[in-house]
Structures are given as structure tokens and as C-alpha cells.
Amino acid sequence: MTPIDVNQLVFRSMTLDDVPTIVAIELESFATPWTEEAFVNELTNNHFARYMVMDLDGRIIGYAGMWTIMDEAHVTNVAVREPYRGQGLGERLMVELQRTAVMFGSRRMTLEVRVSNSIAQRLYKKLGFEPSGIRPGYYSDNMEDALIMWAELPVSAEVEQLYDDK
């Protein structure tokens, strides 16, 4: 596949019309994917929820979500369509999610990641996340533990400068 021109990517808020595509990406990406109902509920009933899509030429190729509560953001989902993986797009998506979290007043961000997922852990560490604990048996498909990671986010005046090179 031809490398993606990151200047062609568009990041926007997820809409209800996006949900079927998001569910398809979930099925490609996770052993225990979220359902259509879960995403509809997040978009319509959860006032803490912030979801975005990554669009390339009118096609959604990735998405990410978080809950912003007080000054903390909790990452709920991050996924890139299978054919587009390995090109740094997950990093672009996470950087955009961090920018958005700062815009909503977040100072810290947290997430859980499978202890066996070293690729994701490397990405998160690159973006300033540090391990802070374990959630035993967190993943229901195989009772795998989750590594809890936290990152301090820059204050809004520092955001563009910090992320411009990413």
C-alpha cells in the first residue's frame, strides 16, 4: 500500500451515521468488540464521552474515544483499520485525542492496555504514558491482566508546540 499523506487526514467528531463503520473496525480490531448499541449509547447518553474519527478521502480509517471527567481523560477505544496499520496512524490518532483532551480541560490521561500488547505499550510510552498498576483479569475474553498507564498532558498553551512535530 502507498504510504498515507498525513496532510490528507481529517479528524472530526463521530456521528451516529458513523457507527456501522466503527463497529466494523471494532470487529477487525478486538477480541471483545463493542456493539452498535454501546456506541449509540456513548454518543447519545454519556455527556463525558468524546469520540473522533480519522477520515481519509471520505473513508473512516480509524477512531478513538475517551471520557473527559473533571481534569482527567480516560481512553476507551483506539483502533485503525487493518490495511492502514503500521504507518504511524495510531500515533496520529492518539496525538489528536490528547489535543482534544487538553481542549476539554484535561491535565492527565489514562488508559488500560493488555499486558501482552507490547506494540501499543511502546506507542503509549512514546506519547508520555507511564505504567502505574495492573488490573487483574480485566479482559473478559481470556482474563488477561491490563496494564494501567497515565500521562501528564501539557497545558493548552503548550499543546501545539509539543505536538507539531508528530
Catalytic residue from among 112, 138, 144, 163: 112
Known catalytic residue at 163: no
Catalytic residue from among 51, 63, 96, 124: 124
**Burial class of 126 by CB neighbour count within 10 A (0 to 12, 13 to 18, 19+):** exposed
Rounded CA gap, 147 and 86, in Å?
22
Known catalytic residue at 124: yes
Measured at the CA of 66, the angle between CA 79 and CA 97, to 5 degrees, comes to 70
Pairing of strands 49-56, 9-13: antiparallel
Q: Which residue has the cell 458513523?
A: 18
Supply the residues annotated as catalytic.
112, 124
